[in-house]
Amino acid sequence: MTGVRIAGTGHTHFGKFPERTARDMFAEASDGAIEDAGIARGEIQELFYGNFMGEVAEDQGHQGPLMAEIAGVHGAATRFESACASSGAAVREAVRNVRNGEVDVMLVGGAERMTNLGTAGATKALSIAADELFEIRAGMSFPGAYALMANAYFEEYGGSREDLAHVAVKNHANALENDYAQLQREITVEEVLEAPPVAEPLGLYDACPISDGASAIVLVSDEYAEEHSLDAPVAITGSGQGGDRMALADREYLARTPAAEDASNEAYADAGIDADDVDVAEVHDCFTIAEVLAIESIGFYEPGEGITAAREGETTADGDRPVNLSGGLKAKGHPVGATGVSQVIEVASLLTGDHLNSDAVPDAETGLVHNAGGTVASTTVHVLEVAK
């Protein structure tokens, strides 16, 4: 089985660009990735592409071949839809494709156009990641579902809104210098606590923004990288995916995310490492509580113990376990189909020292990416390592 290297990365700014189509944004991201890889466009054999709400936002389904065309790539092209884990799922399948030797060079990416829908339209579009009969008809929204998990967490393990606020403050601080981020603004705990409520206990600043954007990477086999003398120092050494029941009410746990636990255990075993080997992580913080659930599910903390991590300065840039040095979905933005690949790009650049926050993790060799779909009914986890 061959190893898998990241040969090139590219993304657009994340933010509010209602006039930009997904194809326009993906053209920019894929151009960036292919140029960065330094390979001829014709070398790319296949595209795996993540997108969640194309039908709703742009009346455009079947985006795989469309995006291959836009990227100037000939060959098979498939769209992956797994709610907010869409491009994480695309990465996972691409890794398997390269490993099994069928393909040597893959373009993997994602894009999402959301802000043209407005807040109400985007809220509705995101809500359909929940169970239509049993959740949406009860008035569940995406923030509402995470609020149910937050209150279940408080009930079971304790914790407070103030603990959650520290997650938002931390991730905003990490995005301050990131010109690609949507929210480059410092916030305070007081501002988070005083923000208008969205779904109690979550307020406006507990939630990631609605975003437009695209991301892309070129993945190659070890052999291809060596034969073509590519500058591709980061390898994807572990991949895992987990699933859970669709509706929150049908899950065994309301304050834990076993799909992510399964995904990370699989990814750790695949890479031959454990949680203590991870130097830096990007996790799916669509809401502040989501980051808490994520750092527990990937084994950084026992269930019930991750709630104070940001507040205690453990997951901050200068802490022992820095999490979301990019600003996370919370501050960088969350164009849902683009997020999983964007997280991979952030960790790869942190490992090569090219990230604006690389100084926070100067010796980092191992990174982790956690990308969750819906209320974590699907999750992918990837381990990235500097190739020895």
Partner 1 sequence: MSEQTDEGYDEWLEAIAEGEAYAFECPNGHGSLPPRRRCPECGDPELERRDLPDSGTVDTLTTIHVATPDFVDDAPYTVAIVDFGLVRLTGQLRGVEDPEEGIRVAAGVEERETTGDDLLVFRPA
Active-site amino acid positions: 84, 334
**Could you count the other beta carbons within 10 Å of the beta carbon of residue 189?**
17
Residues 9, 30, 86, 127: which binds partner 1 (CB under 8 A)? 127
Element (H, E) at 330: helix 328-332
Q: Is 158 in the site for partner 1 (CB under 8 A)?
A: no
Q: Is 116 in the site for partner 1 (CB under 8 A)?
A: no
Least separation in angstroms between CB 140 and partner 1: 6
Report the site for partner 1 in 60-89 (rule: CB under 8 A).
Answer: none
Residues 59, 119, 229, 318: which binds partner 1 (CB under 8 A)? 119
Residues 102, 186, 200, 312: which binds partner 1 (CB under 8 A)? 200
- Interface stretch with partner 1, choices 96-104, 134-142, 183-191, 293-301 (CB under 8 A): 134-142
CA angle 347, 352, 354 (to 5 degrees): 85
Q: Is the separation of the CB atoms in 297 and 272 below 8 Å?
A: no
Backbone angles phi, psi at 4, to 5 degrees: -125, 125
Nearer to partner 1, 203 or 333 (CB): 203
Q: Is 134 in the site for partner 1 (CB under 8 A)?
A: yes
Residues 144, 328, 335, 373: which binds partner 1 (CB under 8 A)? 144
Report the site for partner 1 in 201-220 (rule: CB under 8 A).
Answer: 201-202
Residues 22, 95, 129, 248: which binds partner 1 (CB under 8 A)? 248
Least separation in angstroms between CB 105 and partner 1: 40
SS3 362: coil
**Could you count the other beta carbons within 10 Å of the beta carbon of residue 116?**
16
Q: Is 192 in the site for partner 1 (CB under 8 A)?
A: no
Pick the closest to residue 90 from 104, 77, 105 (CA basis).
77
Q: Binders of partner 1: how many residues, by CB under 8 A?
A: 37
Nearer to partner 1, 107 or 199 (CB): 199
- Interface stretch with partner 1, choices 179-187, 200-208, 315-323, 359-367 (CB under 8 A): 200-208
Q: Is the separation of the CB atoms in 335 and 112 below 8 Å?
A: yes
Least separation in angstroms between CB 209 and partner 1: 13
Residues 18, 101, 158, 197: which binds partner 1 (CB under 8 A)? 197
What is the C-alpha to C-alpha distance for residues 201 and 188, in angstroms, rounded to an integer?
A: 17
**Could you count the other beta carbons within 10 Å of the beta carbon of residue 11?**
26
Burial class of residue 387 in the structure, from the number of CB atoms within 10 Å of its CB (0-12 exposed, 13-18 middle, 19+ buried): middle
DSSP string, 155-166: HHH---HHHHHH
Q: Is 155 in the site for partner 1 (CB under 8 A)?
A: yes
Least separation in angstroms between CB 243 and partner 1: 12
Q: Is 147 in the site for partner 1 (CB under 8 A)?
A: yes
> Which residues are paired to 236 by β-bridges?
4, 384
What is the C-alpha to C-alpha distance for residues 206 and 307, in angstroms, rounded to an integer?
A: 14
CA angle 151, 157, 163 (to 5 degrees): 70
Nearer to partner 1, 50 or 209 (CB): 209
N-term to C-term CA, the chain? 17
What is the C-alpha to C-alpha distance for residues 379 and 368, in angstroms, rounded to an integer?
A: 13
Q: Which residues bind partner 1 (CB under 8 A)?
A: 119-121, 123-124, 127, 133-141, 143-144, 147-152, 155, 196-202, 245, 247-250, 254
